[in-house]
Amino acid sequence: MRSAVVVFPASNCDQDVARALHRVTGVAPEMVWHGESTLPDVDLVVLPGGFSYGDYLRCGAMAAKTAIMNDVVRRADAGVHILGICNGFQILLESGLLPGAMLPNAAIKFVCRDVHLVLERTNTAFTNHYDHGQVIRVPVAHHEGNYFAGDDTLKALQDNNQIVFRYTDENAEATPQSNPNGSLLNIAGLINSTGNVLGMMPHPERSVDPLHGGVDGLPLFESLVESLS
């Protein structure tokens, strides 16, 4: 599996996801600066977490207008798999590759802790190494992770089975207490209707090594290797 990680000014998880990809593929991904206009020939493009452009205007809004995102959108439309994590998810929303928007967390505070997620969908290239209904524990770190969309969009996401991850407690119950940011329907991750673009607020790349406290994020990267190699 050939992969690329797009680096924006103030990306801060690009090296984390690069190490995760190197771990599962044995090959370092291409690191692509946001000012480039063309991506290399790859099977997977990752938009990493961080605070692109200092989160000015809106999180991800300026990054969505960079030169490289024109090619990211073209590749996505052509079927290349795109993974957006945290700020990368925000960029996917701002670029229109996924529906909806991000609002400030309901408590208006930065949240940085482990959360539990339930796997709502495992028949994707991103999640086929998980079991449906499995609960995993991974970190979140964001101030604007409160997913919002209109009623019609939320209905379409549910009808089309596009909700991949939800915030839950350790027993897979999606409660207000298990929701770290106020996201509607406890949404933590979405996939597009064609199944090749996934956005998620939690950080699977920070949960691939036992020394970091857990490996529940590792199957996501293993899923991609199996699906795209």
Question: What's the full length of the chain, in residues?
Answer: 229
Output the pLDDT for position 226. Answer: 97
Mean of pLDDT over the chain: 97
By DSSP bridging, strand 30-33 and strand 3-7 are parallel
Continuous segment of H or E residues that includes residue 151: helix 151-159
Burial group, residue 9, by CB count within 10 angstroms (0-12, 13-18, 19+)? middle
Output the pLDDT for position 212. Answer: 87
By DSSP bridging, strand 187-191 and strand 163-168 are antiparallel
pLDDT digits (tens, 9 = 90+) for 115-136: 999 999 999 999 999 999 999 9
Q: Which residues pair with 113 in a beta bridge?
A: 140
Structure tokens that stand for 145 in this block? 């992770």
Q: How far apart are CA 21 and CA 204, in angstroms?
A: 11
Distances (CA, A) of 176 to 47, 103, 186: 29, 17, 8
Q: How far apart are CA 181 and CA 173, in angstroms?
A: 16
Could you list the active site residues?
86, 203, 205
pLDDT digits (tens, 9 = 90+) for 187-229: 999 999 999 999 999 999 999 999 989 999 999 999 999 999 9
Residue spans of the domains in the chain: they are 3-228
Average pLDDT over residues 182-190: 98
> Angle between the 218-228 and 14-25 helix axes, to the nearest 10 degrees?
60
Q: Is the pLDDT of residue 144 over 90?
A: yes
Q: How far apart are CA 132 and CA 163, in angstroms?
A: 12
Output the pLDDT for position 45. Answer: 98
CA-nearest of 12, 18, 13 to 42 is: 18
pLDDT digits (tens, 9 = 90+) for 13-39: 999 999 999 999 999 999 999 999 999
Q: Is the pLDDT of residue 57 over 90?
A: no
The pTM assigned to this predicted structure is 0.97
Output the pLDDT for position 210. Answer: 94
The CATH topology of domain 3-228 is Rossmann fold (3.40.50)
By DSSP bridging, strand 81-85 and strand 101-103 are unpaired
> With bands split at pLDDT 50, 70 and 90, how would you rate the model's confidence at 103?
very high
